[in-house]
């Protein structure tokens, strides 16, 4: 048992970290938002798995199911900028309610049509586009809401808690979705619809003016977000790191999926293990950011990812890429939380949506090439060459971090 004397002799930094976690957890509005989004993400992770399963069951064509996956990725990428603009035009609470309502309607339509015998392919495509667009608009609105609900000195803990939320849902959701789909095809979609009802109730319970800020009449100008990126060294440096890094991470995932022998159960276990590593990384993200600062975290992450990819190329087989993916996802939430927190602190509330939308668009610009590049390299040169290319991309990310140290050397300031 810890005595009062022992508690008092703990390092001041540890006592402050514990206090910040308690304050974030005790914040009723943040807790309400967190619960609603965890429920929603859990439901979405079920239906994300169920949609391709349903497409294959209805059409008998794995190719058509893969087209839906590509459509979903392109939707999120192409709508990033306009959805960011939308988040600066509409109050966060209203936009979040609208997005949840649209997603509820879309997934309910799939569930009802499935109960009636099976939805047509066009409905699955429309649902994919509608849900992806609503998800993309929800993100910056939720970020603006978070910035007003949580004090600045507690943001690292709040962002890390959101990372824990996402990885927890990604661990539980796919397995639950597959099991529910086995019971009846409509069940995972009904569960997703119920999750949106919970999210709607939680968002409705937030203060009506939370996250609002005065905005100019008419639609905000898109070029204002791009201008902020041009004149903010931190944003430019983070994009130089993210563009090759995001492509490398996506290629690594597709190498694991497309390599010979990937159809076995080991691939699913590898992705589950990687998601667990991501959850573990989320638990230490806030403390690592405060202790080491943004630049050191980014440099260490890029360096370790480079070594992991080279080791995977050397080891080969299933173990190498699986271990590399686990390493990548262990570090992903640490850097992700640090970048997210810093962006919340340095970007003005009025342009936050446009800035994050534009950075998402630029940062993911090369990701549509990932499955094509991974498949082409695996077929023409083999897994070792493909993993060497991934290592080279991580090397470019590391070079960008080292070259941009001055702009990325940002640390969280402790309150007085």
- 90: left (phi > 0), else alpha (psi -120 to 50), else beta? beta
- Domains 17-211 and 220-416 in one fold: yes
Q: What is the average pLDDT value for the chain, to the nearest integer?
A: 82
Instruction: Report DSSP state, residue 259.
Output: S
Q: Comparing C-alpha atoms, which of 147, 353, 340 is closest to residue 238?
A: 340
Arithmetic mean of pLDDT, 296-318: 89
- Helices 121-149 and 319-346 pack at an angle, to 10 degrees, of 50
Flag whether pLDDT at 280 surpasses 70. Answer: yes
Arithmetic mean of pLDDT, 10-26: 50
Torsion over CA: 382, 397, 281, 343 (sign): negative
pLDDT at 103: 95
Options 3.30.70.3270, 1.20.1250.20, 3.30.1010.10, 3.40.1160.10; CATH for 220-416 is: 1.20.1250.20
Arithmetic mean of pLDDT, 104-115: 94
Arithmetic mean of pLDDT, 288-315: 89
Say which residues have a Cβ less than 8 Å from residue 149's Cβ, sequence separation at least 6.
Answer: 27, 29, 30, 33, 206, 210, 211
Higher pLDDT, residue 322 or 10: 322
Q: How far apart are CA 395 and CA 241, in angstroms?
A: 10
Asked whether the beta carbons of 111 and 185 are under 8 A apart, the reply is no
pLDDT in tens, 203-241: 998 877 655 554 444 566 767 888 889 888 999 999 999
Of the pLDDT bands very low, low, confident and very high (cuts 50, 70, 90), residue 287 is confident
| Residues in the chain, total | 416
Q: How far apart are CA 151 and CA 285, in angstroms?
A: 18
- Helices 383-403 and 294-315 pack at an angle, to 10 degrees, of 160
Angle, vertex CA 25, rays to CA 23 and CA 30, nearest 5: 100
Say which residues have a Cβ less than 8 Å from residue 15's Cβ, sequence separation at least 6.
Answer: 7
Higher pLDDT, residue 170 or 247: 247
Torsion over CA: 125, 126, 131, 134 (sign): positive
In this predicted structure, which of 52-56, 114-118, 259-263, 354-358 has the lowest mean pLDDT?
A: 259-263
Q: Comparing C-alpha atoms, which of 411, 125, 118 is closest to residue 293?
A: 411
Flag whether pLDDT at 5 surpasses 50. Answer: no
pLDDT at 411: 53
Options 1.20.1250.20, 3.40.50.300, 3.40.50.920, 1.10.3720.10; CATH for 17-211 is: 1.20.1250.20
Flag whether pLDDT at 15 surpasses 90. Answer: no
**Could you tell me what percentage of the chain is helix, strand and coil, using 3-state DSSP and rounding each to the nearest 5?**
85, 0, 15
Structure tokens at 107: 């997934």
Q: Comparing C-alpha atoms, which of 273, 275, 306 is closest to residue 387?
A: 306
Say which residues have a Cβ less than 8 Å from residue 153's Cβ, sequence separation at least 6.
Answer: 20, 413, 414, 415
Instruction: Report DSSP state, residue 9.
Output: T
Structure tokens at 305: 């990812």
Arithmetic mean of pLDDT, 188-205: 93
Flag whether pLDDT at 409 surpasses 60. Answer: yes
pLDDT at 414: 46
The proportion of the chain whose per-residue pLDDT surpasses 90, expressed as a percent, equals: 28
Flag whether pLDDT at 392 surpasses 70. Answer: yes
Of the pLDDT bands very low, low, confident and very high (cuts 50, 70, 90), residue 12 is very low
**Domain extent listing, the chain:** 17-211, 220-416
Flag whether pLDDT at 19 surpasses 60. Answer: no
In this predicted structure, which of 85-94, 122-131, 403-412 has the lowest mean pLDDT?
A: 403-412
Flag whether pLDDT at 264 surpasses 60. Answer: no
Q: Comparing C-alpha atoms, which of 297, 396, 395, 277 is closest to residue 337?
A: 297
pLDDT at 410: 63
């Amino acid at each position: 048992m810890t005595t009062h004397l022992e508690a008092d002799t703990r390092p001041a930094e540890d006592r402050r970290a514990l206090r910040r976690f308690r304050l974030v957890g005790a914040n009723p509005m943040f807790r309400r938002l967190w619960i609603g989004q965890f429920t929603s993400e859990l439901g979405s992770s079920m239906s994300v798995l169920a949609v391709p399963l349903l497409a294959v069951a209805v059409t008998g064509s794995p190719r058509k199911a893969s087209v839906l996956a590509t459509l979903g990725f392109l939707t999120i990428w192409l709508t990033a900028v306009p959805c960011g603009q939308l988040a600066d035009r509409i109050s966060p609470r209203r936009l979040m309610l609208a997005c949840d309502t649209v997603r509820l309607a879309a997934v309910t339509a799939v569930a009802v049509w499935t109960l009636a015998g099976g939805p047509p392919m066009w409905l699955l495509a429309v649902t994919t586009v509608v849900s992806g667009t609503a998800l993309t608009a929800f993100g910056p609105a939720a970020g603006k809401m978070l910035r007003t609900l949580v004090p600045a000195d507690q943001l690292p803990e709040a962002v890390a808690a959101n990372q824990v939320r996402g990885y927890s849902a990604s661990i539980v959701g796919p397995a639950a979705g597959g099991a529910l789909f086995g019971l009846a095809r409509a069940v995972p979609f009904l569960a997703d619809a119920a999750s949106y009802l919970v999210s709607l109730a939680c968002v409705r319970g937030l203060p009506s003016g939370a996250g609002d800020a005065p905005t100019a009449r008419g639609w905000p100008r898109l070029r204002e977000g791009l201008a902020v990126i041009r004149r903010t060294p931190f944003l430019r440096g983070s994009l130089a790191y993210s563009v090759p890094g995001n492509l490398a991470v996506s290629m690594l995932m597709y190498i694991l999926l497309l390599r010979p022998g990937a159809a076995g159960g080991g691939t699913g276990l590898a992705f589950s293990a990687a998601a667990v590593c991501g959850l573990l990384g989320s638990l230490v993200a806030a403390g690592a950011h405060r202790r080491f600062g943004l630049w050191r975290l980014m440099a260490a992450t890029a360096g370790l990812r480079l070594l992991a990819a080279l080791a995977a190329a050397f080891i080969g087989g299933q173990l190498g890429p699986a271990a590399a993916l686990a390493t990548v996802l262990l570090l992903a939430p640490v850097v992700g939380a640090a970048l997210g927190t810093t962006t919340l602190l340095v970007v003005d509330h009025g342009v936050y949506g446009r800035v994050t939308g534009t950075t998402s668009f630029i940062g993911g610009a090369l990701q549509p090439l990932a499955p094509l590049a991974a498949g082409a390299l695996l077929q023409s040169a083999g897994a070792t060459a493909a993993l060497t290319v991934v290592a080279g991309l991580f090397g470019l990310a590391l070079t960008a971090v080292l070259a941009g140290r001055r702009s990325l050397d940002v640390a969280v300031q402790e309150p007085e």
